[in-house]
Amino acid sequence: MDETTDATPLRVLTPALSPDELAAVVAVVEAAVEEELDELHSGVRINPSAWERSQRTVRAPLQPGAGQWRGFSA
């Protein structure tokens, strides 16, 4: 039996495979692939780039007024 679908590109070469057996094989293969992908992506941690770190606030905004950064002009 040779079945290939758009959803699962799997080529089966066993001639005496029932539809139930084929469904079981596809389910096991899909579960194994999904588990492997979950393991690969679970440990991935993306740190902020140098550009993102440079965009953080360095200090509080300046407040002009009496007694503030322009207070020296009195």
How do residues 19-70 score in pLDDT, each as one tens digit? Answer: 899 899 889 999 999 999 888 877 767 788 888 777 776 677 777 767 666 5
Q: Report which of residues 8 and 52 the model is more confident about.
A: 52
DSSP state of 71: G
Question: Against a cut of 0.75, is the pTM above it?
Answer: no
Per-residue pLDDT at 28: 92
- Which residue matches tokens 């360095």? 58
d(CA 10, CA 23): 11
d(CA 7, CA 5): 5
